[in-house]
Structure 1
Amino acid sequence: MLEIAIVEDEENYRNVLCDYLKKFENETGEEIHASIFTDGDEIVENYTAKYDVILMDIEMEFMNGMDAATKIREVDREVIIIFITNMAQYAIQGYAVDALDYVLKPISYFAFSQKLQRAVERMKKRKERYISIVSKNGVNKVAVSEIGWIESEGHRLIYHAKDNVYESTLNSMKEIENELKDYNFFRCNKGYLVNLAHVKAIRDGWAILTNGQVMISRAKKTEFQKALTRYAGETVK
């Protein structure tokens, strides 16, 4: 899932950007969660480095986009910043804060989608992590982001990926849990390790995933809900 922040003080442009993100999501299949901020000072206050992309207006009332981006860069060197502006000369200054690009107002969907796609490609190249799953048929290199959940069955681990299922006897569940601890995986019961990025809903004690469902133990229910909330981040304001 892509975490995108929209920082824009004009309501009509906020609405346009939200609509364009939905259209981009439908066209590309990318899952997007958008957080809305109405001024630069809002996103800077209590900023945490959880966003993949920030769509930042430059001219805002309380804190302009350039100042906000400068403060963000003090704590987050990785987030991709795309400026939204009606004056190209302001956007040129974006190189000082390592902005990827800028989109001119009025915003056309074509220009917006091209630049967002560029951001997504850069982000994936930088962030993608692979693991090697050793099975009786050989070694499979699988992107961590493609794994929905991992199931322990006897002495086997079964990896449920987006387009395939892999079995391995090389690692224990504890070992793979430690290996993936920094990649938003959660042990929702003794036999299942779930990728939070693939969780669509929690229903009647089950985690509903993009490619299946997994039971959540009673002991882990509250902790799992908290972990999912932390991962999803702030709801749209």
Structure 2
Amino acid sequence: MLGIAIVEDDRDHAVLLESFIRQYAAERCIPVSVRLFHDAVTFLDQYAAEYQIVFMDIMMPMMDGMQAARLLRQKDDLVVLVFVTTMRQYAVQGYEVDACDFLVKPVTYPEFALKFTRILSKVPTQVPGSEVFLKTENSFVRLPSRDILYVEVKGHHCIYHTVGGDYRRYQTMKSAEAALPADSFARCNNYLLVNLAHVSRMDGMEVWVGTVTLPVSYPRRKAFADAVARYMERQNQ
């Protein structure tokens, strides 16, 4: 799924741009998710590194697009940024924040389609589930799934225990599990999701993950043991 954010205070133009994106995606069978933001402050406050492309209007109230882009780059230096402007000369400033391209209003669909084809070529390709995007209290983290040891749910939060430290995120275990590759992660009980790549041993009702020993519940023991066995078989092929 290609995640796209449109940050545009002109609601009519935002809707038009969204329609162009959806038309392009429908013609080429590209699954997309599009979200509209009508000011940069709200966009940045709610930002999670779940978008591959951001269309940013330059002239907006409260915070202009250039200022917003600089703050965006502090949060996410990989997202593909495209400026939308009424004056071509403003787009030159985009090099300061590594903007991929720009659209000049009013935008027509043929012009958009030509530009969007080029923009898509700049989107990094990755295996689905190879990264998870975590919004913590003070930052956003792109976390390679291979670095996760296990995920633990406590209350309404999931704690990602990784080789580089722990990260806490407000979410359900179900949503955490859905974001990770099913052939590499399995639950050993209702509150622990284990990266099978880091399993070194399983004995009875316990599993060794890295340097930590985790409990295996009886209802999940067979399914978890089968998942470990399948994973090891694939690695030995």
Structure 2 vs 1, CA of residues 184 and 110 (structure 1 numbering), >3 Å: closer, same or farther? Answer: farther
Aligned residues: 144
Matches of 1:47 and 1:75, distance apart in 2? 8
Look up the match of 1:68.
68
Residues 125-163 of structure 1: per-residue CA shift (max 9 Å, x gap): x3234xxxxxxxxxxxxxx68xxxxxxxxxxxxxxxxxx
Matches of 1:73 and 1:21, distance apart in 2? 23
Look up the match of 2:126.
128
Matches of 1:36 and 1:185, distance apart in 2? 29
After TM superposition, the structure 1 = structure 2 runs for residues 98-117 of structure 1, keeping only pairs within 5 Å, are 98-117=98-117
For 1:128, the aligned partner's letter is Q
1:185 to 181, 187, 194: 181
Give the CA deviation at 1:98.
0.2
In structure 1, the residue corresponding to 2:43 is in which secondary structure?
helix
Structure 2 vs 1, CA of residues 184 and 115 (structure 1 numbering), >3 Å: closer, same or farther? Answer: farther
Identity percentage over the alignment?
33
Matches of 1:113 and 1:41, distance apart in 2? 29
Give the CA deviation at 1:188.
8.2
Look up the match of 1:30.
30
Structure 2 vs 1, CA of residues 117 and 184 (structure 1 numbering), >3 Å: closer, same or farther? Answer: farther
Matches of 2:180 and 2:119, distance apart in 1? 22
For 2:59, the aligned partner's letter is E
Give the CA deviation at 1:106.
0.3
Structure 1's unaligned 5+ residue stretches are 130-143, 146-180, 191-218, 221-237
Please tell me whether Structure 1 or Structure 2 has the larger radius of gyration of its CA atoms. 2
Report if the CA contact (8 A) 2:5-2:36 is conserved: yes
After superposition, the CA RMSD in angstroms is 3.0
Look up the match of 1:57.
57
Report if the CA contact (8 A) 2:100-2:122 is conserved: no
Matches of 2:22 and 2:90, distance apart in 1? 28
Residues 86-116 of structure 1: per-residue CA shift (max 9 Å, x gap): 1011111001000000000001112212222
Q: TM-score, normalised by structure 2?
A: 0.55
Residues 28-59 of structure 1: per-residue CA shift (max 9 Å, x gap): 11111011100111111142211100011100
Give the CA deviation at 1:189.
8.6
In structure 2, the residue corresponding to 1:116 is in which secondary structure?
helix
In structure 1, the residue corresponding to 2:122 is in which secondary structure?
helix
In structure 1, the residue corresponding to 2:82 is in which secondary structure?
strand
Look up the match of 1:19.
19
Matched, 1:119 2:119: yes
Structure 2 vs 1, CA of residues 66 and 183 (structure 1 numbering), >3 Å: closer, same or farther? Answer: same
Structure 2's unaligned 5+ residue stretches are 130-176, 189-218, 221-237
Give the CA deviation at 1:183.
6.9
Matches of 2:187 and 2:27, distance apart in 1? 35
After TM superposition, the structure 1 = structure 2 runs for residues 163-178 of structure 1, keeping only pairs within 5 Å, are none
